[in-house]
Amino acid sequence: MTFAQSLTRLPCGNRVLDLAHTHVMGILNVTPDSFSDGGRYSQLDAALRHAEVMVAAGATLIDVGGESTRPGARAVSPLEELERVAPIVELINRELDVVISVDTSTPAVMRETARLGAGLINDVRSLQRDGALDAAAATGLPVCLMHMLGEPGDMQDNPHYQDVTREVGEFLAERMTQCAAAGIPAERIILDPGFGFAKTLQHNLSLFKHMEALHALGRPLLVGVSRKSMIGQALNRPVGERLHGGLALAALASLKGARILRVHDVAETVDVVRMLAAVESAE
């Protein structure tokens, strides 16, 4: 079964996403140490203003994260993460008409932000922390499962695959099985190949090239490559000069069937998605 053959309406709390077309998810890091925008949006007013700008630019999801997952990032306590994330989730839910995704692996954060209006759990650890499966199931929200080996602190030490696309697919299929056993049906699952997580440049490029193979899992794909090192390494560009490479990958991901693009540069990516849609809808 491919995702094109399955239902495309995804209930996200009190909102619904129509995944018959590609959506742009704007990144809102409320952390002091994110690789790209660390500290810029840690104050509540600044975070809300940035969310407003992204929604006005066409983002239909805002991904709020309170724990940096860049290589070597320090761990944060559940209380610290919750204190960072909960107020902005509550504020965005009150002020903006947008699906709020919470980028977390922490059970307490999942439960509390769901209560405050979050519509999606986006977990880079694929619900593998103790209690995460049960917490996610209890919220009733859809979840995004991402492929990663190890933890952010050591994931890039020496990643190795015989066939990266096949092994990523097998990992995600196994996590879907675990979700089903915990009471999270396939209809509530989104899949993220995990570009930049426990992968070399060649792993990332090969996985991107063969991404369509993951449609065999029957669930929509989320792709997040915005400003990542795979762009920097391929083009020899620092973080601040990766926009054009990121837009090229956004276009490719959309053409390969990705339904959510997780990005920093919302307005530019929305233009890419709309232009592709205009061409696709022509006679």
Neighbouring C-beta atoms of residue 191, cutoff 10 Å: 27
Per-residue pLDDT of 155-167, as tens digits, reads: 556 678 999 999 9
Give, in order, the Cα–Cα distances in Å from 249 to each of 10, 129, 159: 25, 31, 22
Give, in order, the Cα–Cα distances in Å from 71 to each of 28, 170, 239: 18, 24, 15
Q: How far apart are CA 67 and CA 103, in angstroms?
A: 8
Inter-residue contact 264 to 36 (CB < 8 Å): yes
Per-residue pLDDT of 125-138, as tens digits, reads: 999 999 999 999 99
Q: Inter-axis angle of helices 107-116 and 78-95, to 10 degrees? A: 20
pTM, rounded to two decimals: 0.92
Per-residue pLDDT of 176-228, as tens digits, reads: 999 999 999 999 999 999 999 999 999 999 999 999 999 999 999 999 999 99
Mean pLDDT, all residues of the chain: 91
* Residue 265: Cβ-neighbour burial (10 angstroms; 0-12, 13-18, 19+): buried
Q: Inter-axis angle of helices 164-182 and 132-139, to 10 degrees? A: 70
- Active site (annotated) includes residue 242: no
Which of the following is catalytic: 188, 219, 228, 259?
228
Return the closest-CA partner of residue 267 out of 253, 281, 246, 237.
Answer: 246
| Confidence at residue 127, expressed as pLDDT on a 0 to 100 scale | 98
Per-residue pLDDT of 13-22, as tens digits, reads: 999 999 999 9
Per-residue pLDDT of 42-83, as tens digits, reads: 588 999 999 999 999 999 999 999 987 776 667 789 999 999
Which residues have a Cβ under 8 Å from the Cβ of 23 and sit 6 or more positions away? 17, 60, 61, 259, 260, 261
* Residue 94: Cβ-neighbour burial (10 angstroms; 0-12, 13-18, 19+): exposed
- In terms of phi and psi (left: phi > 0; alpha: psi -120 to 50; beta: otherwise), the region of 263 is beta
Which of the following is catalytic: 188, 199, 227, 262?
262
- Active site (annotated) includes residue 262: yes
Of 39 and 257, which is predicted with more confidence? 257
Q: How far apart are CA 20 and CA 248, in angstroms?
A: 21
Q: Inter-axis angle of helices 201-209 and 243-255, to 10 degrees? A: 40
Return the closest-CA partner of residue 258 out of 200, 201, 207.
Answer: 207
